[in-house]
Amino acid sequence: MSATQGLRHHLDFATTLAYEAGRMTLGYFRNGVRTETKEDESPVTVADREAERMIRARISERYPSHAILGEEYGPEAGAGSYRWIVDPIDGTLAFVRGVPLYAVLIALEIEGVCEVGAAYFPALDEMVHAATGEGCYCNGRRARVSQVQSLSEGIVAFTDAKGFEAYGREPEWDRLRRAARYARGWSDAYGHALVATGRAEVMLDPAMNPWDCAPFAPILREAGGYLGDWSGRETIYGGEALSTSRVLLPEVLDLVRRE
Ligand code: IPD
Ligand code: CA
Ligand code: CA
């Protein structure tokens, strides 16, 4: 099997799994699910845990030698250079509030590079996916970043306005939102999906774990955009995230780089 065919198989597996886990979460959505609070003060529910258990079981069954990193159950070692990175529900606050913008995120990292990504938004029935060399698709249609040439015409998405202050990044956020035409919230993973599909120009988040953004590395790359930290490094390990088009990247980096 060629490397490309291999990635296609992994992509099919990731999208099917994200879809099935996502449909399962819908059974709990707007259904009075009980919210617990984790040590880091973030919300979690039985749906997060059940979805991650299902995803991990299916990965282990199909690829017993692959490593797994998931938000709720942590790292599990593997035997080679393949690692699945999983966030069973990204946007748990949206999920428990009945806001339909939450996602199931599944990515495959090979030798440290995210090559396959699936982001499924169950309540919207929207699937965004990509694999290296295969293009980025949203519900079967080719997706690309926006062609807007200046941030002054663009939409900036973010998750939580208070988060910028909490992480000491208010000056950068302030400069960016003032330069943009609009700044819209509630975004979580959906913000990166909006950028990859050309519906927003920038998504900025001051707090990111690798599982919050892993699928968006190949998704943005294949859509002609950038996903990385706020200083221009294309990484999911920077503790912060920025996605945008290649055209707007220099303008955005000038505004959000630390002084
Ligand atoms: C959160 C989202 C959010 C980010 C937080 C994450 P969760 O994930 O990805 O956009 O700002 O840092 O914790 O808890 O909803 O999976
Ligand atoms: Ca998350
Ligand atoms: Ca989560």
Q: What is the CATH number of the domain that holds 253?
A: 3.40.190.80
CATH code, domain carrying 133: 3.30.540.10
- Other Cβ atoms less than 10 A from the Cβ of 166: the count is 11
Residue 181 Cα to ligand 1 midpoint, Å, equals 25
Tell me: do 225 and 197 sit in the same domain.
Answer: yes
User: What span, in angstroms and rounded, lies between the C-alpha atoms of 229 and 235?
Assistant: 6
In a domain, 3, yes or no: no
Question: Residue 93 CA: which ligand 1 atom is closest?
Answer: 15
Residue at which a domain ends, from 142, 161, 190: 142
Question: Residue 90 CA: which ligand 1 atom is closest?
Answer: 16
Residue at which a domain ends, from 76, 108, 142: 142
pLDDT at 245 (0 to 100): 98
Tell me: do 58 and 113 sit in the same domain.
Answer: yes
pLDDT at 40 (0 to 100): 87
107 neighbors 129 (Cβ within 8 angstroms): no
Count of the separate structural domains present in the chain: 2
Strand 155-158 to 182-184 pairing: parallel
Q: Which helix (H) or strand (E) holds 74?
A: strand 74-76
pLDDT at 1 (0 to 100): 67
Structure tokens at 51: 């979805």
pLDDT at 18 (0 to 100): 98
Tell me: do 36 and 132 sit in the same domain.
Answer: yes
In a domain, 226, yes or no: yes
Counted residue by residue, the chain has a size of 259
Tell me: do 77 and 21 sit in the same domain.
Answer: yes
Question: Residue 44 CA: which ligand 1 atom is closest?
Answer: 14
Tell me: do 125 and 12 sit in the same domain.
Answer: yes
193 neighbors 104 (Cβ within 8 angstroms): no
- Other Cβ atoms less than 10 A from the Cβ of 199: the count is 16
Structural domain boundaries enclosing 200: 151-257
> Ligand 1: which of 102, 104, 208 to mutate, most ligand atoms within 8 Å of CB?
208
Residue owning the nearest CA to atom 10 of ligand 1: 188
Question: Residue 187 CA: which ligand 1 atom is closest?
Answer: 10
Residue 243 Cα to ligand 1 midpoint, Å, equals 15
Residues with CB under 6 A from ligand 1: 42, 87, 90-92, 159, 163, 188, 205, 207-208, 212
> Which residue type does 21 have?
A
DSSP 44-71: E-HHHHHHHHHHHHHHHHH-TT-EEEET
Tell me: do 130 and 196 sit in the same domain.
Answer: no
Tell me: do 173 and 99 sit in the same domain.
Answer: no
> Ligand 1: which of 37, 42, 73, 192 to mutate, most ligand atoms within 8 Å of CB?
42
In a domain, 199, yes or no: yes
Q: State which residues have CB under 5 angstroms from ligand 3, the bound ion.
A: 71, 87, 89
Residue at which a domain ends, from 142, 172, 198: 142
HSE-up (13 A, CA, CB side) for residue 80: 9
Question: Buried b vs exposed e over 68-94: b needs ≥16 C-beta within 10 Å?
Answer: bbbbbeeeeebeeebbbbbbbbbbbbb
Tell me: do 203 and 176 sit in the same domain.
Answer: yes
In a domain, 2, yes or no: no
Tell me: do 128 and 178 sit in the same domain.
Answer: no
Question: Residue 209 CA: which ligand 1 atom is closest?
Answer: 12
Tell me: do 52 and 105 sit in the same domain.
Answer: yes
Q: What is the pLDDT along the chain (259 residues), one digit of tens a residue?
A: 676 678 999 999 999 999 999 999 999 999 999 999 999 889 999 999 999 999 999 999 999 999 999 999 999 999 999 999 999 999 999 999 999 999 999 999 999 999 999 999 999 999 999 999 999 999 999 999 999 999 999 999 999 999 999 999 999 999 999 999 999 999 999 999 999 999 999 999 999 999 999 999 999 999 999 999 999 999 999 999 999 999 999 999 999 987 6
